[in-house]
């Protein structure tokens, strides 16, 4: 009786073991030639991971030491092809990496390079790839080279395609156009590649500087959208200082045309005079060394101006004002039209 009982138990245990093996579906397969030692050493180490039948990552290394107690592979000279929904997204290269054999997360130590399918090139150190979240990130300095720009930062976080990137303390050099800086940048390759800076945001070139709480830059159109405590300024030796303040501004880096609205204040100052214009909305343009500002009447109010000069001081109100400064001639003028009224004090 005991013999038959033991035989049945062994029989059912064998059936259970076979069923478990048949029911398991592994999605990673390290392969290579094995040498036995204190730890298992695999040469030509490879991991292939899929998700729902689609490729997720193919990782290859020259060699790897398998730490069975920790479930980690310590790999050298790593190249990992990362896929997004089965399509190639980026190639990760590192000299040293630790791979979690349970989650397939990859921690790369030292210098790391990531090249995306869209020809972006990323350089950093100590990079982490989270397989479960499809995220790549590092808390160290990063340099990202993209078409027409180079982006620098102190840390970054991105998806595997590098089309949704967040960079801390960033500086972006837009080739031959402008430089963008800010505490935090969020880049999305949607609707023309929109890069948004938040906190101490600034964009500048040789012609103009714009600062604001938030600046968005459309890479396809070279348009700048600034909001919150906006300041647009231009200064050189001939023009003196030109500044405009408002709550929202739109500016084209290419055409050097823009508009500003909501509690706008314009100040044009040189050695001879100071002119201040107040309006709800202005349009600005620059042609060579000439700056033009158009302030028009809105439903809310008419534009006003205050002028201090060596000849007179005056307060003006009109339906429309146009301020123009020609740097080549060092000549400033303001044209007023419509219903114009003024209070002027002539100096002796």
Cα–chain center distance at 176:
18
Tokens encoding 52: 């729902």
Taking the C-alpha atoms of residue 135 and residue 165, their distance in angstroms, rounded to an integer, is 10
Q: CA angle 247-327-279, nearest 5°? A: 25
Contact 151, 124 (CB under 8 A): no
pTM of the entire predicted model: 0.76
What is the Cα gyration radius of the chain? 32
Taking the C-alpha atoms of residue 272 and residue 261, their distance in angstroms, rounded to an integer, is 28
The reported pLDDT for the residue numbered 2 is 41
Taking the C-alpha atoms of residue 248 and residue 260, their distance in angstroms, rounded to an integer, is 6
Q: Are strands 240-252 and 121-130 parallel, antiparallel or unpaired?
A: unpaired
pLDDT digit string (tens) for the chain, length 348 residues:
443 333 333 333 333 333 333 333 334 444 444 444 447 889 999 999 988 889 999 999 999 999 888 889 999 999 999 999 899 999 999 999 999 988 889 999 999 999 999 889 999 999 999 998 999 999 999 999 987 789 999 999 999 988 889 999 999 888 767 899 999 999 887 666 788 999 999 998 887 899 999 999 887 788 899 999 999 988 655 556 788 999 999 998 888 889 999 889 998 887 778 889 999 989 988 876 677 888 877 766 889 999 988 888 999 999 999 988 776 666 778 889 888 999 998 887
The H or E element that residue 62 is part of is: strand 54-67
Taking the C-alpha atoms of residue 295 and residue 286, their distance in angstroms, rounded to an integer, is 15
Alpha carbon of 277 to those of 18, 110, 243, 274: distances in Å? 85, 55, 11, 10
The reported pLDDT for the residue numbered 9 is 39
Contact 187, 193 (CB under 8 A): yes
Tokens encoding 79: 């190249």
DSSP track, 127-160? EEEETTTTEEEESS-EEEEETTEEEEESEEEEET
Short-list 219, 202, 220, CA closest to 211: 202
Contact 108, 92 (CB under 8 A): yes
As beta bridge partners, residue 82 has 57, 90
Short-list 55, 110, 111, CA closest to 82: 55
The reported pLDDT for the residue numbered 190 is 65
Taking the C-alpha atoms of residue 47 and residue 59, their distance in angstroms, rounded to an integer, is 5
Taking the C-alpha atoms of residue 191 and residue 179, their distance in angstroms, rounded to an integer, is 21
The residue to which tokens 């290859």 are assigned: 60
Tokens encoding 273: 């005079």
Q: Are strands 273-287 and 304-309 parallel, antiparallel or unpaired?
A: antiparallel
């Amino acid at each position: 009786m005991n013999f038959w009982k033991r035989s049945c138990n062994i029989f059912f245990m064998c059936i259970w073991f076979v069923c478990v093996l048949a029911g398991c579906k592994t999605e990673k397969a390290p392969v290579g030639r094995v040498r036995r030692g204190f730890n298992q050493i695999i040469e030509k180490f490879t991991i292939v991971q899929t998700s729902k039948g689609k490729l997720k990552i193919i990782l290859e290394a020259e060699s790897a030491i398998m730490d069975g107690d920790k479930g980690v592979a310590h790999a050298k000279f790593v190249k990992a092809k990362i896929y997004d929904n089965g399509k190639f997204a980026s190639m990760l290269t590192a000299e040293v990496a630790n791979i979690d054999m349970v989650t397939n997360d990859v921690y790369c130590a030292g210098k790391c390079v990531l090249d995306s399918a869209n020809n972006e090139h990323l350089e950093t150190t100590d990079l982490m790839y989270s397989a479960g979240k499809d995220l790549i990130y590092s808390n160290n300095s990063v340099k990202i080279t993209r078409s027409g720009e180079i982006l620098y930062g102190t840390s970054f976080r991105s998806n595997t395609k590098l089309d949704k990137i967040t960079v801390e303390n960033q500086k972006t050099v837009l080739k031959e156009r402008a430089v963008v800086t800010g505490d935090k940048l969020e880049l999305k390759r949607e609707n023309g590649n929109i890069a948004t800076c938040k906190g101490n945001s600034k964009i500048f070139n040789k012609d103009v500087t714009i600062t604001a709480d938030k600046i968005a830059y459309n890479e396809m159109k070279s348009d700048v959208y600034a909001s919150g405590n906006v300041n647009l300024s231009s200064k050189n030796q001939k023009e003196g200082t030109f500044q405009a303040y408002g709550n929202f501004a739109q500016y084209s880096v290419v055409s050097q045309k823009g508009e500003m609205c909501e509690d706008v204040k314009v100040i044009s100052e040189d050695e001879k005079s100071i002119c201040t214009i107040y309006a709800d909305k202005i349009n600005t343009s620059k042609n060579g060394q000439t700056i033009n500002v158009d302030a028009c009447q809105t439903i809310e109010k008419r534009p006003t101006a205050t002028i201090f000069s060596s000849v007179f001081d005056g307060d003006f109100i009109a339906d429309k004002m146009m301020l123009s400064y020609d740097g080549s001639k060092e000549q400033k003028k303001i044209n007023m039209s419509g219903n114009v009224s003024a209070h002027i004090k002539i100096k002796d």
